[in-house]
């Protein structure tokens, strides 16, 4: 989603409790293009493992459904709390949650139930936002309090919210007997943003999670999750792949790349040769990150990344589908491509429609179908799973 003033970037980082395969924290995000809205939900299921994961998933899914349907906040909270069971021993709800609802005009509403308070970073400092206590009546647990707050986002704002696995990390250790603590977490966020003013939501959320894990002694004592929403000028990337249908369009393709005001990426050997020829540059193989699983990247002056085509794009799509963190993978052309796209907000794919005559019978354009379908798959993943603004144009 893009407001008149800023693009809304959303990402999160997570570490499961040591020894657990499933995280008891669940993060969901959704873009509603026709309304210009972005909604995020972070739910923390009681305990850890599969049971906590199921309850957190139920909570997050319900919250997303009701908030996106514009059901009254108090009523939505009542339904969620009435549906979830309570712990028979501890007499507390089986899941806590934070909901962030961002409108097209920059208005942000935050609903919190028993998660650590969210942090708003503005102009390099943490800003306190007034919160209204809403009493919610439920049959199975009496009256509960939900916190509601709202503010109008400004360009450069960062909203950070996390589970108690962050604030309670290190609890019982000499340096942090009472845990890392919300104030210390806030100071760390300010420090990281001060060190790197353009830090992305992906980088900041993972930095908070990694710091909490280190405070825990390298093994997470609880599920650790952090989400970040950035309001900023969009980062743009263009990806060129496939030769144009008409060779006379080669010059146009190169012009689009040369004049593009953002990161420039070329995928495909034939495409790379066209771009290099039109720009008057040479192609050289990048020997810095060789990997047998995908062909190596190449270099063209003025282009940020040059890769092979279908194999690299397919592997990159697998990384996106699996939700893998490219920063934790062995570097190769596909991993670098995934990293570049995840650090971008607006991504334009320029897809050539010429069939490689050396590979296919022109009367049976299978290669073109594969290329188109692969690009549609990647665009869909970026838009729905990662809330990017990706589009594809054919040339």
Q: What's the pLDDT tens digit per position in 74-129?
A: 788 778 877 776 655 555 557 899 999 999 999 999 999 999 999 999 999 999 99
Question: For position 81, what pLDDT does the model report?
Answer: 77
Question: For position 94, what pLDDT does the model report?
Answer: 74
Q: Are both 181 and 265 inside the same structural domain?
A: no
Which ranges of the chain have pLDDT less than 50? 1-4, 358-359, 363-365
Question: For position 82, what pLDDT does the model report?
Answer: 76
Question: For position 93, what pLDDT does the model report?
Answer: 56
Indicate the residue among 187, 207, 232 that finishes a domain: 232
Question: For position 47, what pLDDT does the model report?
Answer: 83
Q: Are both 198 and 124 inside the same structural domain?
A: yes
List the beta bridge partners of residue 224: 15
CA distances from 309 to 128, 201, 287, 343 (A): 49, 28, 18, 21
179 in any annotated domain: yes
48 in any annotated domain: yes
- Contact of 289 with 300, CB cutoff 8 Å: no
Interatomic CA distance for residues 41 and 62, integer angstroms:
10
CA distances from 299 to 44, 101, 243, 292, 340 (A): 45, 42, 18, 19, 16
For residue 163, the domain's CATH number is 3.60.40.10
Q: Are both 23 and 149 inside the same structural domain?
A: yes
Question: For position 364, what pLDDT does the model report?
Answer: 43
Indicate the residue among 232, 250, 284 that finishes a domain: 232
Which has the closest alpha carbon to 111: 119, 123, 99, 122?
Answer: 99
- Full residue range of the structural domain in which residue 323 is found: 236-394
Question: For position 140, what pLDDT does the model report?
Answer: 62
Q: Are both 134 and 221 inside the same structural domain?
A: yes
Q: How far is CA 75 from the centre of its chain?
A: 29
1 in any annotated domain: no
Question: For position 89, what pLDDT does the model report?
Answer: 57
For the stretch 243-284, pLDDT in tens is: 999 999 999 999 999 999 999 999 999 999 999 999 999 999
- Note if the pTM is more than 0.95: no
């Amino acid at each position: 989603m893009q407001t008149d003033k800023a693009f809304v970037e959303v990402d999160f980082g997570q570490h499961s409790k040591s020894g657990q395969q499933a995280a008891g924290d669940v993060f969901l995000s959704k873009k509603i293009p026709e309304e210009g809205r972005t909604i995020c939900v972070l739910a923390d299921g009681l305990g850890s493992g599969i049971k906590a994961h199921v309850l957190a998933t139920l909570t997050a899914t319900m919250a997303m459904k009701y908030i996106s349907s514009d059901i009254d906040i108090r009523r939505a909270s009542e339904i969620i709390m009435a549906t979830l069971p309570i712990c028979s021993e501890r007499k507390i709800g089986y899941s806590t949650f934070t909901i962030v609802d961002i409108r097209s005009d920059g208005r942000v509403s935050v609903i919190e139930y028993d998660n650590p308070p969210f942090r708003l970073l503005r102009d390099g400092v943490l800003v306190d936002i007034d919160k209204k206590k809403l009493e919610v009546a439920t049959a199975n647990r009496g009256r509960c309090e939900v916190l509601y707050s709202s503010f109008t986002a400004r360009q450069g704002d960062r909203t950070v919210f996390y589970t108690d696995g962050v604030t309670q990390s290190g609890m019982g250790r000499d340096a942090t007997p009472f845990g890392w603590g919300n104030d210390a977490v806030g100071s760390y966020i300010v420090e990281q943003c001060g060190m790197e003013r353009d830090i992305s939501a992906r980088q900041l959320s993972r930095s908070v999670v990694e710091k909490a894990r280190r405070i825990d002694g390298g093994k997470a004592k609880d599920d650790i999750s952090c989400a970040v929403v950035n309001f900023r000028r969009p980062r743009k990337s263009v990806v060129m792949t496939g030769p144009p249908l008409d060779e006379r369009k080669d010059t146009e393709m190169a012009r689009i790349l040369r004049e593009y005001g953002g990161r420039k990426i070329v995928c495909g050997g034939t495409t790379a040769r066209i771009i290099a020829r039109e720009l008057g540059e040479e192609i050289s193989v990048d020997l810095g990150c060789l990997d047998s699983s995908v062909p190596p990247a190449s270099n063209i002056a003025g282009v940020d990344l040059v890769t092979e085509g279908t194999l690299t794009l397919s592997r990159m799509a697998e990384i996106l589908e699996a939700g893998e963190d490219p920063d934790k993978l062995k570097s190769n052309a596909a991993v670098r491509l995934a990293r570049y796209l995840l650090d971008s907000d607006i991504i334009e794919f320029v897809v050539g429609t010429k069939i490689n005559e050396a590979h296919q019978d022109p009367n049976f354009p299978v290669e073109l179908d594969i290329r188109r379908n692969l690009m549609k798959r990647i665009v869909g993943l970026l838009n729905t799973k990662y809330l990017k603004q990706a589009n594809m144009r054919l040339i």
